[in-house]
Structure 1
């Protein structure tokens, strides 16, 4: 019997300093008492399941695809579909059902793929209720590593049966206990392009809001460790490229992604040389282009950021972490984390912005006392990006704002 797909316990992050909040914690039902802190852990559920080895990928069902060299690839596809005035051969990989130990209210898929030439992938998801009602397939993304042939896009809406799509998140208002993914691989008819699916998975969760005044986690193994992540300000790009979000406040996610990729030394030469007239750090503009979601019309799609990073790194995914204690082993291992926060006026002392409904930054380490060291791209200059935040305030902004959403990018 093949081993189960790798599972890890984590918690999710909010991915954009834009007006739209892409991921919100579930409210306590009207009239319900706020659960005691000791009970809250039992009411919060997060699980990440990933199919990324050949054995795990072979556990899925395949049509006109094969598993070769550790990836799903097309195998003599016969079926075709029309899209954007062109015709494509289609192959499909469908995951087995993943049954969770608790009810989920959100599902956030993420993937790593290669799409050379005129090829692309489509990612779909569906859920199953505790009563064994199976929802319809909802299209989460049409994705390619380039916008040359198709426009990379999420498909919000699809309000039907059990779930609805909100950019990168499948929302399940009534809850579900199981889920399944389907990935379609497409290549232009007559082409020899070979798209591949290298990893796919999803983070299932049900997260309650964090109550004000919840004690911070205690400083742990990474106290005193700070990673040398290069600093980029998103604000120095204000007004750049309206077609990719217009820079400035809208670019916290690609700026954070660019910083981590620069830390690993994998930003591509083309991106490094992307220096539009009149400003520096063209790699930030380049990254914004690579992660831009034409459906959402922004650069804050969590899965699109990790999918782009995954074309350059060994591993990338979106998840949730329960607290800073869970983040510390990543920092100790040399892995900076991109985290999503939200806070009101006066709730994060020293922040370059007074308040935000959703903002991404890079967690780069901890002081010896356990306070949080970050690269906050909302700072006005590169020189002011490195910041230190109070541990309790930061943890409240992160867990209370997005439920702990995090991009884990590993070299």
Structure 2
């Protein structure tokens, strides 16, 4: 399971009554529409990603350049300045030159209670990037520039920084919980009505290497406060062939990465889908792993998604960014509004990694309870039940599970639940990771566009 006993980092706060009503209507309409193409009401989720040459050209460049071609990107053209960074996880202070790109102001279709960013990039050894958000509240005041992540695709202990989230960021109205911007008290009606993202690219002074960023964006949402969600009608019978990997067979391995495999649900799920799309780490990539360990690629994924501040492998954007380090792969963090939307993705051949929390008795056949866990949804049975590759299984063959539709739907989409002591705590409200290659079929592009991913 994910290291999520402290659910403050995954707080899904209550929406105001008006927003809840709109969102609940959207959820019901989505469930009714299904795969039939019926008109859809406004979704409580709004995605915006910058990916095209026009996107990168529209932003404000300070030392960066937009790169055209088959996969448009933004890179360092020349240094805009130099700065020192004291890495809290290595104790080293170093000088870096940097360049910045700032997005235009974006106004999401729903005034947001939460925002989660995603990025897809390559950072050669000795380079790294930082993603920040500044927003405007419904009271017209601005947030500070919040750091949403300091990230590198590498892990050279001499030349790279340590990937890290940044704690203790708040202005009294909103806070950053590891990887999530969250309004502190949504019952006041305060919302984030617009935001812009700032991307800072770093390298050693005088170096020529540069980070390359192909995708940057965010998911803004105002999911209604709810213990249960409307039941959807089954609309698909299909199962995708996705590799099965157990996190549990890695118990005790590399405890420096979140105490070992028992907590590796997120990287294990990520590796399943990366390999579904035909990508794998090379033999050289895996040379550091003990050769006696099965599925060394799971160990590799755990190391390269690890957040040194959170001290865990469950940082959502870091997992999506890891997926994008494989050739022509993309990864985003988003929310889906219904199980019907997930059916549409599976129908198009796109599996999803979903985040959920539940008591043991709430999910028949799981055999465990969890404050936060990632699993891979690969299909639906003829009766609509959910087929999941659940990494919290004792062996690889045991990973494939079938969970009751109504139970699974509720534990995934709700935002409130009771824990084992009877205390009201939060749920994830439909969070998922979607990984997919650059080249997609028309059906796959349409399915992603239907849930706001472009």
The reply to whether TM is greater than 0.5 is yes
Aligned CA distance change for structure 1 residues 370 and 39 (closer, same or farther; 3 Å): closer
> Is 2:222 aligned against 1:206?
yes
1:78/1:90 contact within 8 Å kept? yes
Report the CA distance between 1:384 and its aligned residue. 0.6
Report the CA distance between 1:184 and its aligned residue. 0.2
Report the CA distance between 1:44 and its aligned residue. 7.2
Q: Supply the RMSD in Å over aligned alpha carbons.
A: 2.3
Instruction: Choose 15-24 or 36-45, whichever is displaced more.
Output: 36-45
Partner of 1:81: 83
Number of corresponding residues: 391
Q: What do residues 325-360 of structure 1 show as CA deviations (whole Å, max 9, x unaligned)? A: 10112112211100001111311101132x111100
| CA–CA distance in structure 2, aligned partners of residues 132 and 115 of structure 1 | 36
| CA–CA distance in structure 2, aligned partners of residues 99 and 260 of structure 1 | 32
Report the CA distance between 1:249 and its aligned residue. 2.9
> Is 2:169 aligned against 1:158?
yes
Partner of 1:380: 394
> Is 2:277 aligned against 1:264?
yes
| CA–CA distance in structure 2, aligned partners of residues 274 and 188 of structure 1 | 26
TM-score (norm 2): 0.81
> Is 2:163 aligned against 1:147?
no
Report the CA distance between 1:18 and its aligned residue. 3.2
Q: How does 1:126-205 map to 2 (within 5 A)?
A: 126-148=134-156, 149-173=160-184, 174-205=190-221
Aligned CA distance change for structure 1 residues 249 and 175 (closer, same or farther; 3 Å): farther
TM-score (norm 1): 0.90
Partner SS, residue 108 of structure 2: strand
Instruction: Choose 184-193 or 262-271, whichever is displaced more.
Output: 262-271
The one of 16, 20, 32 aligned to 2:2? 16
Aligned CA distance change for structure 1 residues 273 and 266 (closer, same or farther; 3 Å): farther
| CA–CA distance in structure 1, aligned partners of residues 117 and 13 of structure 2 | 19
The one of 284, 300, 325 aligned to 1:286? 300
Q: What do residues 34-89 of structure 1 show as CA deviations (whole Å, max 9, x unaligned)? A: 97996585897210100011111211111011101311111121411112432211
The one of 124, 128, 153 aligned to 2:132? 124
| CA–CA distance in structure 1, aligned partners of residues 167 and 334 of structure 2 | 20
Aligned CA distance change for structure 1 residues 120 and 154 (closer, same or farther; 3 Å): same
Report the CA distance between 1:271 and its aligned residue. 4.4
> Is 2:359 aligned against 1:359?
no
Report the CA distance between 1:170 and its aligned residue. 1.0
| CA–CA distance in structure 2, aligned partners of residues 59 and 305 of structure 1 | 28
Q: How does 1:293-372 map to 2 (within 5 A)?
A: 293-312=307-326, 313-353=328-368, 355-372=369-386
Partner of 2:44: 45
Question: Which protein has the bigger strand share?
Answer: 1
The one of 100, 105, 130 aligned to 1:92? 100
Report the CA distance between 1:210 and its aligned residue. 3.1
> Is 2:429 aligned against 1:403?
yes
Report the CA distance between 1:273 and its aligned residue. 5.3
Aligned CA distance change for structure 1 residues 370 and 50 (closer, same or farther; 3 Å): same
Q: How does 1:15-34 map to 2 (within 5 A)?
A: 16-21=2-7, 22-27=9-14
| CA–CA distance in structure 1, aligned partners of residues 132 and 308 of structure 2 | 17
5+ residue gaps in structure 1? 1-14
Report the CA distance between 1:404 and its aligned residue. 0.3
